[in-house]
Amino acid sequence: MKRTDASRQVGLARALSKLGYCSRSEACSLIRAGHVRLNERLRLDPETPVHLEKDHIQVDGHTLRENQKIYLMLNKPRGIITTATDEKGRETVYKLLDKDCPWVAPVGRLDKASEGLLLLTNDSEWSARVLAPETHLEKTYHVQIAAIVNTVLLEKMRKGVLSAGDILRAKSALILRAGERNTWLEVVLDEGKNRHIRRMLTQLGIEVIRLVRVAIGPLALGELPKGSARQLTAEEKQAIDRAMESSQTAARWSKRRA
């Protein structure tokens, strides 16, 4: 289907984000502070309509052009904030990236206490697809809990619990290994509500000791050192795309049968 002109029209702040210059919130600040011109005219409204293929955008006199798309994977350590800036001065994931790395945004979040695989990209449309509920892209976590697990708990996790109006459930939950006082679980989600696993287990009276995301779809964290980042290979990016398409197709067929 041929894309219409209207489909390429976005607000000015979003245009800066889509062009890989900065986040949308940072773009709003730049625009309101008078740093951005559109077709040689100063614009102060972040929602000013922009046609990405026709209009000319400048920030402090520098013309913006669409950057090459970048797809990174990062092994986030515990205690790091998944945000660009932090008002409390805490270390963020951006301090782990190379200084010459172009602007990228996290694809979703891992909370401060959580660890593991985090994607970052300047491709906002791809990021939105990865995060979209209808994509059903699986995320796999290894979770250490302060309890000895039985099949009753695993079944409750799969059936779901109610927390603050949300139904929180695991697509699958199994025991990886157990000690005398704690257990490591493998938990797979095909949806992602805020602090999903922690809230679910808290509702079941279980304390989470560690939570590590080890895979997103077919992409595994593997041996990437903690605190390190690298670009996805073309094959890894294509594998994620195929997984998203496959999940969406399966979901459509499931709805038709229902």
**DSSP state letters, 35-91:** -EEETTEE---TT-EEETTT--EEETTEEP-PPPP-EEEEEEPTT-BSSS--TT---
Q: Report yes or no on whether pTM surpasses 0.95.
A: no
Q: What are the residue numbers of the active site? A: 111
pLDDT tens sequence for the chain (258 residues): 334 444 468 899 988 877 777 778 888 999 999 999 999 999 999 999 988 778 889 999 888 877 788 999 999 999 999 987 777 888 999 999 988 788 899 999 899 999 999 999 988 889 999 998 888 899 999 999 999 998 999 999 999 999 888 999 999 999 999 988 999 999 999 887 889 999 999 999 999 999 999 999 999 999 999 999 999 999 999 999 999 988 766 656 555 665
- The pLDDT value given to residue 186: 98
- The pLDDT value given to residue 156: 95
Rounded to whole angstroms, the Cα distance separating 89 from 67 reads 29
- The pLDDT value given to residue 20: 72
Residue 13, burial from CB neighbour count under 10 angstroms (0-12, 13-18, 19+): buried
- The pLDDT value given to residue 224: 96
Rg (CA), the chain: 21
CA nearest neighbour of 42 among 24, 29, 61: 61
- Report all structural domains of the chain as residue ranges with CATH numbers, in order of start: 5-63 (3.10.290.10), 71-132+220-253 (3.30.70.580), 138-213 (3.30.70.1560)
Contact 213, 119 (CB under 8 A): no
- The pLDDT value given to residue 85: 74
